[in-house]
Amino acid sequence: MAIMDDTTIKIVDYVSRKINGVAAKVTGARPNKAEILETINQLQADECNSHDYTFMRGTANVDGYTVSTTVQTDNPGAPTQHPSTVSSSSVSPTWYWAQKYTNGPTPIKTNTATIPMFPYGGLGALSLTSVLYIVGDNGSGKPNLNDIIASSDAVICDSLLSPGAMSDIPFTFTTKGFIAENETYWVVVKLVFGYDNGINVGIGGTHAATTYGQGCFSIDDGATWPAYSLGSLAFTLSSHTCSYNTTITIPLEFAYIYSIYPATSTDIKSSRLYAYAVDRQSNNPESVPAGSFWVTGSDNIGRTIVGFNSAIKNVETWVVEGKKRVTELVNDTDIPQIPASYRGILKYQAVLEFWALGFGQQDANTANLYLKKIEEQRNAMRREYLPKRSSGFRYNRGGGVSMVAPLDSPDPNRVYIQTGIPYPNRNTNL
Same domain, 52 and 99: no
Same domain, 80 and 192: yes
Same domain, 231 and 91: yes
**What are the start-end ranges of the H helices in 246-363?**
268-271, 344-356
Asked if residue 387 and residue 263 are part of one domain, the reply reads yes
Question: Is 357 strand, coil or helix?
Answer: coil
428 within a domain of the structure (yes/no) = no
* 99 against 424, higher pLDDT: 99
Residue 114 in any domain: the answer is yes
**Spatial CB neighbours of 5, under 8 Å, sequence gap ≥ 6:** none
Position 423 in a domain: no
pLDDT tens readout for residues 376-386: 999 999 999 98
- The residue type at 318: W
Residue 257: which H helix or E strand, with range? strand 254-262
Least confident of 109-113, 153-157, 252-256, 262-266: 262-266
Omega of the bond prior to 406 within 30 degrees of 0, cis? Answer: yes
How far apart are the C-alpha atoms of 402 and 409, rounded to whole Å? 17
Per-residue model confidence as pLDDT tens digits over 183-194: 889 889 999 988
Q: Which of 180, 207, 242 is the last residue of a domain?
A: 242
**292-298 and 274-275 strand pairing:** parallel
Hey, which of 110-114, 247-251, 355-359, 389-393 has the most confident mean pLDDT? 355-359
How confident is the model at residue 35, as a pLDDT? Answer: 95
Q: Do residues 104 and 230 share a domain?
A: yes
Which residues form the domain of 105? 67-242
322 and 309 housed in the same domain: yes
Write the DSSP string, 71-132.
Answer: EEEE--S---SS-EEEETTSS-SEEEEEEEEE--SS-EEEEEEEEEEEEESSSS---EEEEE
- Cis peptide bond N-terminal to 31, omega within 30: yes
By CB atoms closer than 10 A (0-12, 13-18, 19+), residue 254 is: buried
Half-sphere exposure of 80 (CA within 13 A, CB side): 17
Same domain, 412 and 325: yes
Q: Where are the alpha helices (DSSP H) in 131-209?
A: none
**Closest to 352 measured CA to CA, from 326, 374, 383, 336:** 374
Identify the sign of the CA torsion 154, 159, 163, 168.
negative
Say yes or no: 278 and 392 in one domain.
yes
Q: How confident is the model at residue 235 (pLDDT cuts 50, 70, 90)?
A: confident
Sheet containing 304-308: which strands, arranged edge to edge? 247-249, 304-308, 292-298, 274-275
Does pLDDT of 242 surpass 50? yes
Asked if residue 424 belongs to a domain, the reply is: no
- In terms of domains, do 124 and 53 share one? no
Which of 242, 265, 295 delimits the end of a domain?
242
Alpha-carbon distance 64 to 268, whole Å? 17
Distances (CA, A) of 86 to 50, 107, 190, 201: 68, 32, 11, 5
Q: Is the pLDDT of residue 392 over 60?
A: no
User: Using an 8 Å Cβ cutoff, are 289 and 389 in contact?
Assistant: no
Q: Are residues 79 and 212 in the same domain?
A: yes
Domain-located, residue 390: yes
Count how many residues are written for the chain: 430
Residues 266 and 302 both lie in one domain = yes
Q: Which are the contacts of 300, defined by CB distance < 8 A and separation ≥ 6?
A: none
User: In this structure, is residue 275 part of a structural domain?
Assistant: yes
pLDDT class of 420 with cuts at 50, 70, 90: low
Of 242, 261, 287, the one marking the end of a domain is 242
Task: Please state the domain count of the chain.
Answer: 2
pLDDT of residue 410: 39
Residues 50 and 75 in one domain: no
Supply the CATH number for residue 124's domain: 2.60.120
For residue 427, being part of any structural domain is answered with: no
Q: Is residue 425 part of a domain?
A: no
What local confidence, expressed as pLDDT, does residue 134 receive?
Answer: 93
DSSP symbol at 165: -
